[in-house]
Amino acid sequence: MAESNYALQAHLHAKPEKADEVAEFLESALPKAEAEEDTTTWFALRLDETTFGIFDTFADEDGRQAHLDGEIAEELLSRADELFAEPPQIDEIEVLAAKHSE
């Protein structure tokens, strides 16, 4: 199994009237994430009615950067003004420990 020490965590605060559209966008992004060779894990999360998140991991910095330069991030950022009450917050983080099952 590939290591996953490099990660991204995004916090997304949807406009109340756009919350369902954000959920649909995130659900529809899964096949794109699955197609990214260097993305080892990808999670889309709903934290409450209008707060969403994305957590994903990568084996190295190149994989993380490829994801940031990829289709999901491009579409997310291009629709930010339409969908979100505030700009998405995307943090580069380091995974200190992880459990992976096959």
Per the CB < 8 A criterion, the answer to whether 43 and 54 are in contact is yes
Residue 6, beta-bridge partner list? 58, 94
Task: Classify residue 88: in a domain, yes or no.
Answer: yes
Q: Say whether pTM exceeds 0.75.
A: yes
Task: Classify residue 101: in a domain, yes or no.
Answer: no
What pLDDT score does 38 carry? 93
Average pLDDT over residues 7-13: 97
Structural domain including 81 reads 6-94
Alpha-carbon gap, residue 28 to 7, rounded angstroms: 21
Which CATH number does the domain housing residue 63 bear? 3.30.70.100
Task: Classify residue 31: in a domain, yes or no.
Answer: yes
> Do β-strands 6-13 and 39-46 pair in parallel, antiparallel, or remain unpaired?
unpaired
Give tens-digit pLDDT for 15-48. Answer: 999 999 999 999 999 999 999 999 999 999 999 9
Question: Which bin fits 7, alpha (ψ -120 to 50), beta or left (φ > 0)?
Answer: beta
pLDDT surpassing 80 at residue 1: no
Per the CB < 8 A criterion, the answer to whether 10 and 89 are in contact is yes
Task: Classify residue 69: in a domain, yes or no.
Answer: yes
pLDDT surpassing 90 at residue 9: yes
What pLDDT score does 36 carry? 94
Task: Classify residue 45: in a domain, yes or no.
Answer: yes
Give tens-digit pLDDT for 67-99. Answer: 999 999 999 999 999 999 999 999 999 999 988
Quick one: which of 70, 59, 62, 63 has its CA closest to 100? 59
Alpha-carbon gap, residue 33 to 15, rounded angstroms: 24
Task: Classify residue 59: in a domain, yes or no.
Answer: yes
